[in-house]
Amino acid sequence: MPGSPFPRTRDSRRRAVPDPRLRGDDAARMGKRITSAANPLIKKVRSLEQRKYRQQTGLFVAEGARLVTDAEQQGILPETVLVGEGAAAERPAVQALVARLTTRDVEIIETTEAVLRTIAHRDNPQTVIGVYAQRWADLDAIDARADFCWVVLEAVRDPGNLGTILRTADGVGADGLMLIGPCCDPYSVEAVRATMGSIFAMPIVKAALPDFAVWRRRQGGMAVGTALDAGTDHDALDYARPTFLIMGNEQAGISEDMARQCDALVRIPMRGRADSLNLAIATGLMLYEIWRQTGYEGHNVAGQRPNSRLNRGADSHKG
């Protein structure tokens, strides 16, 4: 696209190709400190708030030292990190993080709070902002036959819901997330914030419904969808591994074509005046019921999951 600050990649959806202009030459000319929001590198980072530039570059922004640290602990390194001036000196954890990333050839740029505000659009922005390559898993490379559960979202439009669902799926140890049809972007700023770091822990697949249907038939297990007029309550069904939990968009639910892919449809009972639940809440209820039936070991199981899911079918990651 003429005038775009990023070059268009051949296939940014399936394979993220980091923009080399976020590294090297710009930083060499500007040193390691930037104080102007008009700086070309800052403008490029700021442009990642728009989906078209995230698609063109295969990059996204994650805010906060916690998210950057979580990613590092999983072997995922940023292309560039912006650090608020004085943050490393004032916060030992940030100082240690910067030192570790520097030894891994990550570009560290010190900047001002005013510049960080232009990126985060917050009066009190995070003092650490990382720029990362998106990670998309390849549907055909995934063998889910021995898995616990995959969350399958159809035409989900709200990035806050999407991020919250990703976080909840990570919390129950689900194996990954699939986006079917025209969904919102899991790498948008709003979605990434809502994941609270789970964006780095879960494989994410994007697929068309016909491709998903063909793949799903090879996996066995059970595909379960939700519907207001279903005749079975969500806790009355016997779930089987792997479970493919299919949830539709916020207004219409799952489509008729997607409903035909389901082995069972269930409803979440309600007794008040409300006739529906928020999508993220409904997905959470379903996930915990599936977990309860298919292997809940009690509350003290944190850290016992294998990390193999992080690289399953991944087209692009840095680590």
Domain-embedded: residue 88 = yes
pLDDT in tens, 226-261: 998 899 999 999 999 999 999 999 888 999 999 999
How confident is the model at residue 245, as a pLDDT?
98
How confident is the model at residue 174, as a pLDDT?
97
- How much is the average pLDDT of 102-131? 91
One domain, residues 118 and 163: no
Of 246 and 121, more confident: 246
- How much is the average pLDDT of 65-89? 92
In this prediction, residue 266 has a pLDDT band, given cuts at 50, 70 and 90, of: very high
How confident is the model at residue 150, as a pLDDT?
98
Structure tokens at 215: 């793949």
Are 224 and 237 in contact, with CB atoms under 8 Å apart?
A: yes
Of 29 and 247, more confident: 247
In this prediction, residue 124 has a pLDDT band, given cuts at 50, 70 and 90, of: confident
Distance CA 224, CA 233 (A): 12
One domain, residues 174 and 278: yes
What CATH number does the domain containing 207 carry? 3.40.1280.10
Domain-embedded: residue 1 = no
Are 195 and 162 in contact, with CB atoms under 8 Å apart?
A: no
Final residue in a domain of this structure, among 105, 133, 161: 133
pLDDT in tens, 125-179: 889 999 999 999 999 999 999 999 999 999 999 999 999 999 999 999 999 999 9
One domain, residues 216 and 292: yes
Final residue in a domain of this structure, among 133, 149, 179: 133
The amino acid sitting at 173 is G
* Rg, Å, the chain Cα set: 21
- How much is the average pLDDT of 314-318? 50
One domain, residues 158 and 278: yes
What CATH number does the domain containing 122 carry? 3.30.1330.30
Domain-embedded: residue 3 = no
**Mean pLDDT of all residues belonging to the chain:** 86
> Does position 43 have pLDDT exceeding 70, yes or no?
yes
One domain, residues 145 and 126: no
Which residue has tokens 């993080």?
97
Give, rounded to a whole angstrom, the gap between the first and last alpha carbons of the chain: 30
In this prediction, residue 86 has a pLDDT band, given cuts at 50, 70 and 90, of: confident
One domain, residues 108 and 157: no
In this prediction, residue 32 has a pLDDT band, given cuts at 50, 70 and 90, of: confident
Domain-embedded: residue 112 = yes
Domain-embedded: residue 318 = no
How confident is the model at residue 90, as a pLDDT?
84
How confident is the model at residue 175, as a pLDDT?
97
Domain count, the chain: 2
The lowest-confidence range among 85-99, 198-212, 243-257, 298-312 is 298-312
One domain, residues 171 and 306: yes
> Does position 9 have pLDDT exceeding 60, yes or no?
no
> Does position 29 have pLDDT exceeding 90, yes or no?
no
One domain, residues 252 and 277: yes
Are 294 and 176 in contact, with CB atoms under 8 Å apart?
A: no
In this prediction, residue 84 has a pLDDT band, given cuts at 50, 70 and 90, of: very high
Domain-embedded: residue 227 = yes
Domain-embedded: residue 2 = no
One domain, residues 234 and 147: yes
How confident is the model at residue 296, as a pLDDT?
78
Final residue in a domain of this structure, among 107, 133, 159: 133
User: In terms of residue numbers, what domain contains 114?
Assistant: 20-133
Are 205 and 177 in contact, with CB atoms under 8 Å apart?
A: yes
One domain, residues 95 and 78: yes
Please list, in sequence order, all residues whose beta carbon lies within 8 angstroms of the beta carbon of residue 94, skipping any fewer than 6 positions away. 65, 83, 87, 88, 127, 128
Domain-embedded: residue 292 = yes
pLDDT in tens, 10-21: 333 333 344 444
One domain, residues 146 and 289: yes
Alpha helices in 179-298 (DSSP H): 189-195, 209-217, 256-259, 279-293
One domain, residues 73 and 205: no
Please give the share of the chain, as a percent, with pLDDT higher than 90.
Answer: 74
